[in-house]
Every structure is written in structure tokens, then in C-alpha cells.
């Protein structure tokens, strides 16, 4: 089960619409509100974010940023907008 980490601090467990398979590109774009960018946190996890989030001045996402920075230390980059935390190879290929 993936985690939809919303910029407002809400975290919601979500699954692909096709009953446990992988998320479609359309679904990923809906979760992040635009073009997607995959940020690989480790061998098992990928965070899907809005590729243009910073250009669009999307709101800072504190939970996604903390997750990202813990996985990619040392790092001072940050995440904006809604993000989707997935298990690589299961929910996203």
C-alpha cells in the first residue's frame, strides 16, 4: 500500500485502481497534480512528486521533505506539493 503524503500534513494509504497492480501514469499525475518526477529514496522506495512543483510555487510538504532527507542524507533539498511514496517494483515500475 502506498502513502499519499499531502502538503497539508495529511497522510492517506492508497492502492492502484487495478486491484493491487501498479499505478497508471494517469493515476500518478492525479495524485501529484501534474507531470511526475520519480525520486528514488533507496532500493525499495520511490517518491513521486510534481516535476514542476517548485516552479509552480506549490506549498512546502514537511512530511515528504523529512522522509526524503532522512533517506538521502546529507541533503538540504525539499519537497513541495503532494507526494506519493511507493514501493518500487510493486506499486510502480
pLDDT tens digits for range 1-43: 899 999 999 999 999 988 768 999 999 999 999 999 999 999 8
pLDDT tens digits for range 70-89: 999 888 899 999 999 999 87
Nearest residue to 65 via CA among 48, 81, 49, 79: 79
Question: What would the 3-class secondary structure string for the chain be?
Answer: CEEEECCCCCEEEECCCCCCCCCCHHHHHHHHCCCEEEEECCCCEEEEEECCCCCCCCCECHHHHHHHHHHCCCCCCCCECCEEEEEECCCEC
Amino acid at each position: 500500500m502506498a502513502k499519499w503524503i499531502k502538503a497539508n500534513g495529511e497522510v492517506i494509504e492508497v492502492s492502484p485502481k487495478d486491484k493491487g497492480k501498479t499505478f497508471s501514469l494517469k493515476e500518478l499525475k492525479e495524485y501529484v497534480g501534474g507531470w511526475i518526477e520519480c525520486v528514488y529514496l533507496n532500493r525499495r522506495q520511490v517518491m513521486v512528486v510534481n516535476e514542476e512543483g517548485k516552479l509552480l510555487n506549490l506549498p512546502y510538504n514537511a512530511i515528504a521533505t523529512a522522509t526524503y532527507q532522512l533517506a538521502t542524507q546529507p541533503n538540504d533539498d525539499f519537497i513541495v506539493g503532494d507526494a506519493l511514496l511507493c514501493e518500487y517494483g510493486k506499486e510502480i515500475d
